[in-house]
Homo-oligomer: A and B are copies of this chain.
Amino acid sequence: MPKKIDHEERKEKILQTALKVFAREGYRDSNLSLIAQECGISRPTIYQYFKDKEEIYYYAVKLVTGRMFNKYATFAWSTDDNYMSRITSICIDIMDNAAQNEGELTSLVDVMLQMKKEGRDFNEIVLRRTAKLTILFKRLLRMGIKQGDIIACDVNKVADHILLLLESTCFQVAFLDTFDMILSKELIANYLEFFKTNPLGNDVIPRS
């Protein structure tokens, strides 16, 4: 019985496996043979789908961040919650995922940490990709202000702050055995609460 191969499916499987391996072994120390092996295919086959190792990283990031963005964008426009609730829900969900310490988001953060260790600046790709999330937050903030859910504030700065909070949380979760303190759900909830009463909403958490 010849099994039919779904190339999209396999492509995605390669990316997911690669992300896991990158997260576990580091980008430099992980080799394509291992990734191929864990996918149940041969190494040359990977080159059928991706140009080189770097492209695998690029598309893995794209997959995870894209899926994340779509998930939250869909949620954001398919509920009748007020805009502040939508923002809060998204933040909580991202933190939950990070805290679960498994799954795509955690792997992504691990890979970023490994990259940092190795002195590579591939992380620019991740930052470019998460920029879409910032746009989503900006839009929600703007709509919320128009609607009266959220008091007028500097939308750009607040959106940046939220992303910064989320990033720190993710990174701290990744360093869980090093740090004791961790940004809690309560903290971010407080931060968001802040905008209901503070008309500017700036400089709460300064950029490092």
Contacts and interface: CB of A to CB of B under 8 A. Distances in A.
Interface in A64-104: 77
A77 B73 CA distance: 11
Interface residues of A, number: 3
Nearest to A8: B8
A146 B146 CA distance: 11
Contacts of A77: 77
The A interface is mostly helix, strand or loop, or mixed, namely helix
Interface string A136-169: 0000000000110000000000000000000000
A16 to B, nearest CB: 21
A77 B76 CA distance: 11
Nearest to A73: B77
A139 to B, nearest CB: 9
Nearest to A7: B7
Interface string A29-44: 0000000000000000
A89 B147 CA distance: 23
A90 B77 CA distance: 19
2 contacts: A77-B77, A146-B147
Interface of A: 77, 146-147
Across the A-B interface, the 2 shortest Cβ-Cβ residue pairs: A77-B77, A146-B147
